[in-house]
Amino acid sequence: MEELSLGTAIIKFVFALGFVILLLAAFAYGAKKLGFIARVTVDQNNEKKKRLNIVEILPVDAKRRLMLIRRDDKEHLIMLGAERDLLIEQNIDLKSRPPKNIGD
Protein backbone atom coordinates (compact mmCIF):
# COMPACT_ATOMS: atom_id res chain seq x y z
CA MET A 1 0.00 0.00 0.00
CA GLU A 2 1.38 3.35 -1.02
CA GLU A 3 1.60 6.14 1.55
CA LEU A 4 0.65 9.67 0.51
CA SER A 5 2.67 12.64 1.56
CA LEU A 6 0.95 15.45 3.44
CA GLY A 7 1.11 17.80 0.45
CA THR A 8 -0.49 15.25 -1.87
CA ALA A 9 -3.25 14.54 0.65
CA ILE A 10 -4.01 18.26 1.01
CA ILE A 11 -4.14 18.74 -2.76
CA LYS A 12 -6.52 15.78 -3.16
CA PHE A 13 -8.70 17.13 -0.33
CA VAL A 14 -8.91 20.60 -1.90
CA PHE A 15 -9.84 19.16 -5.31
CA ALA A 16 -12.47 16.87 -3.75
CA LEU A 17 -13.96 19.78 -1.77
CA GLY A 18 -14.04 21.96 -4.87
CA PHE A 19 -15.76 19.18 -6.82
CA VAL A 20 -18.44 18.76 -4.13
CA ILE A 21 -19.07 22.54 -4.02
CA LEU A 22 -19.32 22.59 -7.81
CA LEU A 23 -21.84 19.72 -7.73
CA LEU A 24 -23.96 21.52 -5.12
CA ALA A 25 -23.96 24.70 -7.19
CA ALA A 26 -24.95 22.73 -10.31
CA PHE A 27 -27.83 21.03 -8.47
CA ALA A 28 -29.04 24.38 -7.05
CA TYR A 29 -28.91 26.00 -10.50
CA GLY A 30 -30.79 23.06 -12.03
CA ALA A 31 -33.43 23.15 -9.29
CA LYS A 32 -33.94 26.87 -9.86
CA LYS A 33 -34.25 26.45 -13.62
CA LEU A 34 -36.72 23.57 -13.24
CA GLY A 35 -38.88 25.60 -10.84
CA PHE A 36 -38.23 23.70 -7.61
CA ILE A 37 -37.00 26.88 -5.90
CA ALA A 38 -39.38 29.85 -5.66
CA ARG A 39 -38.28 32.98 -7.44
CA VAL A 40 -38.86 35.65 -4.82
CA THR A 41 -37.57 39.18 -5.16
CA VAL A 42 -37.70 41.06 -1.88
CA ASP A 43 -37.82 44.86 -2.14
CA GLN A 44 -35.27 45.33 -4.89
CA ASN A 45 -34.88 48.78 -6.39
CA ASN A 46 -35.39 48.27 -10.09
CA GLU A 47 -35.60 50.95 -12.72
CA LYS A 48 -39.12 50.03 -13.75
CA LYS A 49 -41.68 50.54 -11.01
CA LYS A 50 -43.72 47.45 -10.19
CA ARG A 51 -47.20 47.72 -8.72
CA LEU A 52 -46.81 44.59 -6.61
CA ASN A 53 -43.76 43.90 -4.46
CA ILE A 54 -42.83 41.63 -1.56
CA VAL A 55 -41.45 43.87 1.18
CA GLU A 56 -40.55 41.34 3.86
CA ILE A 57 -41.01 37.67 4.77
CA LEU A 58 -40.58 36.47 8.36
CA PRO A 59 -40.91 32.84 9.52
CA VAL A 60 -43.26 32.39 12.49
CA ASP A 61 -42.66 28.68 12.98
CA ALA A 62 -41.93 25.62 10.84
CA LYS A 63 -45.23 25.81 8.95
CA ARG A 64 -46.20 29.50 8.98
CA ARG A 65 -44.67 32.76 7.84
CA LEU A 66 -45.70 36.40 7.72
CA MET A 67 -45.50 38.22 4.40
CA LEU A 68 -45.75 41.97 3.96
CA ILE A 69 -46.64 42.89 0.39
CA ARG A 70 -46.94 46.32 -1.19
CA ARG A 71 -49.49 47.19 -3.86
CA ASP A 72 -49.31 50.75 -5.21
CA ASP A 73 -49.23 52.90 -2.03
CA LYS A 74 -50.76 50.32 0.33
CA GLU A 75 -49.28 47.39 2.23
CA HIS A 76 -51.00 44.16 3.25
CA LEU A 77 -49.91 41.74 6.01
CA ILE A 78 -50.65 38.09 5.23
CA MET A 79 -49.94 34.93 7.23
CA LEU A 80 -49.14 31.98 4.98
CA GLY A 81 -49.61 28.52 6.42
CA ALA A 82 -49.55 24.91 5.34
CA GLU A 83 -53.32 24.51 5.40
CA ARG A 84 -54.67 28.04 4.93
CA ASP A 85 -53.69 31.66 4.39
CA LEU A 86 -54.96 34.52 6.54
CA LEU A 87 -55.16 38.25 5.80
CA ILE A 88 -54.12 39.93 9.05
CA GLU A 89 -54.18 43.59 8.05
CA GLN A 90 -54.96 45.30 4.79
CA ASN A 91 -54.62 48.77 3.29
CA ILE A 92 -51.77 49.87 5.55
CA ASP A 93 -50.97 53.39 4.38
CA LEU A 94 -47.28 53.97 3.64
CA LYS A 95 -47.47 57.57 4.84
CA SER A 96 -48.67 56.57 8.32
CA ARG A 97 -45.87 54.07 8.84
CA PRO A 98 -42.97 55.30 11.03
CA PRO A 99 -39.64 55.79 9.18
CA LYS A 100 -36.96 53.12 9.37
CA ASN A 101 -34.19 53.71 11.87
CA ILE A 102 -30.71 53.41 10.45
CA GLY A 103 -28.82 50.76 12.37
CA ASP A 104 -31.82 48.56 13.27
Q: What is the pLDDT of residues 14-60, one digit of tens each?
A: 999 999 999 999 999 888 887 776 656 555 565 566 788 888 888 88
**Sheet containing strand 65-71, strands side by side:** 52-59, 65-71, 74-80, 85-93
Per-residue model confidence (pLDDT) at position 98: 60
- Reported for 94-97, long-range contacts at CB under 8 A and 24+ positions apart, including other chains, are 94/70
Distance CA 6, CA 90 (A): 63
- Predicted structure pTM score: 0.49
Q: Return the half-sphere exposure (C-beta side, CA atoms, 13 A cut-off) of residue 79.
A: 11
Q: Which H/E stretch holds residue 78?
A: strand 74-80
pLDDT at position 12 over 90: yes
Name beta bridge partners: 52: 71
Per-residue model confidence (pLDDT) at position 42: 57
